Amino acid sequence: MKTNETDYSIIERILSGDKSGYRDLANRHKDYAFTVAYKIVGTREDAEEITQDAFIQAFQALSNFNQEAKFTTWFYRIVFNSALMFKRKNRLQTEDIELSQLAQSVPADTANMLKMSEQGQFIQKALNHLSPDDVTMITLFYLKELSLEEIAQVVGISAETVKVKLCRARKRLAETMNKMLGKEVKTLI
């Protein structure tokens, strides 16, 4: 639901009392924010809760929002931090499955089962084994909406550090996927 109206003008409308602006702002950014949260926490229900909390936080702080900054980087930073906090709180409750066990649980006809529609789930499983930082780097980079500089603003580090961290994250993901499926991953493409 993208329109020509900028985030700034929607925020202006909200601050001048137009409550429909909240809905417009949410519709515009909900999918991206939800995707970032989902990739980090791994479940749709939790991701939706986190995204809603992030929107509420953003709405409450709108009057303090520095309009010289970009709304998306400011807002995605809230989403990122909320998801990170959630992940830390729930770290002890998450399943600690060894990669070897996970590999054993994959059926023999993995190649066919993971075709196309299940590739996303497979990647999500692999992402679940990475740190939230790594997941964020990979997600923000491959969604292709933010530049390295903007990703740096979202996670609060320099663009150079983002590049280094992104490289390490991609390497770790490749290793994880390799451990999970070994040679079978080749058949996915």
Q: How far does CA 154 lie from the centroid of its chain?
A: 11
* # residues contacting other proteins (CB under 8 A): 43
Min CB(92)–other proteins separation in Å: 26
Q: Does 158 sit near other proteins (CB under 8 A)?
A: no
Q: Does 52 sit near other proteins (CB under 8 A)?
A: yes
Q: Does 131 sit near other proteins (CB under 8 A)?
A: no
Q: Does 171 sit near other proteins (CB under 8 A)?
A: yes
Can you tell me the distance from the alpha carbon of 83 to that of 135, in angstroms, rounded to the nearest whole number? Answer: 11
Among 55, 75, 76, 86, binds other proteins (CB under 8 A): 55
Of 124, 129, 70, residue with least CA distance to 99: 129
Residue 155: CB atoms within 10 A of its CB come to 19
Q: How far is CA 35 from each of CA 1, 41, 44, 179, 182, rounded to the nearest angstrom?
A: 16, 10, 9, 25, 27
Q: Give the residue with the Cβ less far from other proteins, 68 or 146.
A: 146
C-alpha count within 13 angstroms, C-beta hemisphere, residue 154: 26
Q: Does 64 sit near other proteins (CB under 8 A)?
A: no
Can you tell me the distance from the alpha carbon of 111 to that of 124, in angstroms, rounded to the nearest whole number? Answer: 17
Binding site for other proteins (CB under 8 A): 22-23, 26-27, 30-32, 34-35, 38, 44, 47-48, 51-52, 55-56, 59-60, 119-120, 122-123, 138-139, 142-143, 163-164, 166-168, 170-171, 173-175, 177-178, 185-186, 188-189
